[in-house]
Amino acid sequence: MRNCILCGKENVSAALQVCVDCIRSGRKEALELARGAHARIRAQYRLPAEPPRSEGGIRCTVCANECKVAEGERGYCGLRANVNGKLKSAAPHDHAILYSYIDPLPTNCCAAWFCPGSSQYGKVNVAVFFYGCNFNCLFCQNASHKEFQTIKSVSVKEFVAGVTQRDDVHCICYFGGSPEPQLQFALRASEAVLTKRNVRICWEWNGCGNKTLVKRAAELSVTSGGIVKFDLKAFNPQLGEALSGVSNQRAYENFEMIARQYFEHSVPPVLTATTLLVPFYVDEKEVEEIAKFIANLNPEIPYSLLVFHPDFYMRDLPITPREQVKHCYEAAKKYLDNVNIGNQQLLGVV
């Protein structure tokens, strides 16, 4: 860690170089430093520094970034490029770049504290890790998703066969990276599975997907008894961009859409949110604003605060201090009925 390059405040990420106060205040210099950090990191993976907005480029509408990709350019996720005037995916039609594995239930998913799947001993979850992401979180705990160039793609047919040939599959959970850049594959695969088996469809994502696709995904979860988990990383727009590289406004819009249309009568609760308590950045001010947003929709929506462990370009930060966890929990409980602290083992709590 270091001191803020702008104001001198202590406990600042070496990658960002600036403190939460300078970022939240909207100081132009703070955002420029944050954008520079993302650009340097993404250059190592040969990914564009920001979503392209090229005049005359082909517009991709799969996620909230809505890249406009010119000839020879790649989209922000890296999975699509403009080749000879056409938007070409890194995976062939009806294929996705993913890794799936069997995870015996109960598992450690973020919704385990209220999910009925936690009682399904002897059953399994098919965990689907999508490569590529529409965010660039400095604290990413699955940064291998950026290294998709050598991963063999999987077809819908292959994936569906792998799921339906087992009798012990209780649920499918899509995560990554994040599912948004390959959400169309996940929807087709899920719909095909559900024609053959009763399986719960769950999503763990940043939530910044195409609204129409996100709605279809939520409907699959409602009808199958699954759960949609949003990672609401920050409430302040400047802080959200500084931590994740792009705006997270669409996440709040999609969260509200699902809450208003599907939450009230869903059993189990179809919607939940998490927030990673990044030390010295995602504090009780952020959590209180997120909790108020959720409570205005429905105070019964489950909300989990996740204890941070050092990873990716924030390895110089510590595990979330206990005081920060305590203050954030108290801030959330002022507004919400169902609040959980995840990753408690990192605090030495069993």
Q: In 92-137, which ranges are continuous DSSP H helix?
A: none
Query: Which pLDDT value is given to residue 349?
Result: 55
How far does CA 79 lie from the centroid of its chain?
Answer: 17
- 133 and 19 in a single domain? The answer is no
208 and 297 belong to one structural domain = yes
Same domain, 35 and 135: no
Q: For position 170, what pLDDT does the model report?
A: 96
Whole-number pLDDT of residue 350: 45
Distance CA 210, CA 250 (A): 9
This prediction's pTM: 0.96
- Can you list the residues of the chain whose pLDDT is less than 70? 349-350
Tell me the pairing of strands 68-69 and 58-59. Answer: antiparallel
Same domain, 195 and 144: yes
Domain of 68? 49-89
Q: Which of 59, 89, 119 is the last residue of a domain?
A: 89
**How many structural domains is the chain composed of?**
3
The pair of three-digit structure tokens given for residue 122, joined into one six-digit string: 């002897």
Q: What per-residue confidence (pLDDT) applies to 108? A: 82
